Amino acid sequence: MMSADGRVVMISGANRGIGAAIVRRLRAAGFRLSLGVRDTVLTEVGEPARCLVTHYEARERDAAKAWVAATVERYGRIDALINNAGISREAPIEDENEEALDDLWLVNVKAPLRLVRAALPYLKQSRVGRVVNVASLSGKRVRNANNGYAMSKFALVALTHSVRRLGWEHGIRATALCPGFVATDMSANASTVDRADMIRPGDLAELVACLLALPNNATIAELLVNMRYEDTL
- How many CA atoms, within 13 angstroms, populate the side-chain half-sphere of residue 199? 24
Q: Supply the angle between the helices 111-126 and 147-167 in degrees, to the nearest 10.
A: 20
Cα–Cα distance between 4 and 74 in angstroms, integer? Answer: 17
| Exposure class string for 124-149: b at 16+ Cβ within 10 A, else e | bebebbbbbbbbbbbbbeeeeebbbb
Cα–Cα distance between 141 and 4 in angstroms, integer? Answer: 34
Number of Cβ within a 10 Å radius of residue 160 = 25
Q: What residues does 37 pair with on adjacent strands? A: 55
If you write DSSP's letter for every residue of 9-73 in order, what string do you get? EEEESTTSHHHHHHHHHHHHHT-EEEEEES----S----GGGEEEEE--TTSTTHHHHHHHHHHH
Residues annotated catalytic, as ranges: 149
Cα–Cα distance between 201 and 73 in angstroms, integer? Answer: 30
Rounded to 10 degrees, what is the CA torsion of 184, 187, 193, 195? 30
